[in-house]
Amino acid sequence: MDIAAIRAQLPLTRECIYLNTGGIAPGLEAVTQTLVSEYQEIARRGPPLIMDYQRHSERLEETRGKLARFCGVEAADLCLTHGVADGTTTVFNGFDWQPGDELILTDEEHPAVQMPAERLTTSHGVQLRFLPIGGGEAQILQRLEDLITPRTRLLALSHVTTDTGTRLPARAIVELAHQRGVPVLYDGAQSLGQFPVNLSQLGADFYSLLAYKWMFGPYTAGALYVEKSWQEKLRVVPSSANYFGSSGARRFEFAAVPPPYYYASAAATDYIQGLGIPRIEAQVKALAAVLRRHLETIPGLVIENPQDPAMCTGIVTFRVEGVEGPHISTALRTRKIITRPTGLKFSGVRVSVSFFTTQEELDTLVGTVGEIAAASRSPQPPS
């Protein structure tokens, strides 16, 4: 990869060391240019929805098709949403929950999944059960098998977990769940764009995704995949007055979406596909592996990623004994190194290594974390 050429397309890299693509990706020039040109066109010619509805519909369907192909599905199986929470809530609302029904999550779920799940406990008497993330694939699958009961109605799991960046054995989980008659919903926020994902081959029943992390689209574009057999079974509960439902997954497209956001998302997928998702994966995994090794040389620092390299991603997470994660993350930010604190299971720091990240940036990170950790452990002089 021509890293210098890539970084020229990301103006933010000239301002700071940006290590939070797992939060919101920095803006690609192709995305920015698409958004600007689209809104300039609206200013000149008026809202396409009113001025040229047919062309508006055609362009939006072309874009839906491009995003669907990126995911390995048909356009009819994808509805446009406003991020993961939108899709997750749509699926949760579509089930006819009964008191005592069980919903299985991981113990690392982002609030986009955790909060709508918790609402089901009060509104419908649903029991939440949690799959501990840790150990190897065989251990995770065995824990999951032990968790599933005759009352389990749905698994709602992160394909890649938000704090430790654990890549779950997604296909094996689907096979296990389907053997027990349980459908699977994946949160794909941290997966698509990190490595090749083909939802048709994966076999999940639902896949809620967003475009503004590893796919490098604009905030807050997203989509929901609904497998064909569920498109009529899943109950439609519109969340707004603007209900455009017809057939296929579009039955679950409730709110008006801003087309420029999705045109820009498609431009982003064009760009990263041009780089090659397998090449992105290989580049990032190599950088992340070196980063973990270097961080481990810092006294008191503990890496919280999986030990199995196959389960690791571009997310590198660590904690420092005796030092709170927010303190480290804030101290890094004052030095223009942008990370994210963790807090679901431990107080640490999450680093997102992306294809534009350089080894020099990671060396700077390691040195700075070492300084912050040493200063935090040093006795403070009396005031």
Give tens-digit pLDDT for 322-354.
999 999 999 999 999 999 999 889 999 999 999
- Tell me which CATH code domain 32-271 carries: 3.40.640.10
Strand partners, 352: 315
Cβ atoms of 199 and 72 closer than 8 Å:
yes
SS3 195: strand
Sequence ranges of the domains in the chain = 3-28+277-376, 32-271
Say which amino acid occupies 366.
V
Kind and range of the H or E run holding 84: helix 84-94
Strand partners, 184: 155
Residues 87, 124: Cα–Cα separation, whole Å: 19
Alpha carbon dihedral 363, 368, 373, 379, in 10-degree steps, equals: 140
Q: Helices then strands (H, E): number in the chain?
A: 13, 13
pLDDT for res 22 = 98
pLDDT for res 244 = 55
Kind and range of the H or E run holding 51: helix 48-51
244-259 b/e (C-beta count within 10 Å ≥ 16 → b): eeeebbbbbbbbebbb
Residues in the chain: 383
pLDDT for res 352 = 98
Q: Which residues contact 32 (CB under 8 A, 6 or more apart)?
A: none
- Tell me which CATH code domain 3-28+277-376 carries: 3.90.1150.10
pLDDT tens, position by position, for the chain (383 residues)? 899 999 999 999 999 999 999 999 999 999 999 999 999 999 999 998 899 989 998 999 999 999 999 999 999 999 999 889 999 999 999 999 999 999 999 999 999 999 999 999 999 999 999 999 999 999 999 999 999 999 999 999 999 999 999 999 999 999 999 999 999 999 999 999 999 999 999 999 999 999 999 999 999 999 999 999 999 999 988 765 455 556 789 888 876 788 999 999 999 999 999 999 999 999 999 999 999 999 999 999 999 999 999 999 999 999 999 999 999 999 999 999 999 999 889 999 999 999 999 999 999 999 999 999 999 876 655 55
Q: How far apart are the first and last CA of the chain?
A: 52
Residues 237, 214: Cα–Cα separation, whole Å: 30
Cβ atoms of 155 and 179 closer than 8 Å:
no
pLDDT for res 167 = 98
The tens digit of pLDDT for each residue in 176-209 reads 999 999 999 999 999 999 999 999 999 999 999 9
Same topology, domains 3-28+277-376 and 32-271? Answer is: no
Residues 42, 26: Cα–Cα separation, whole Å: 25
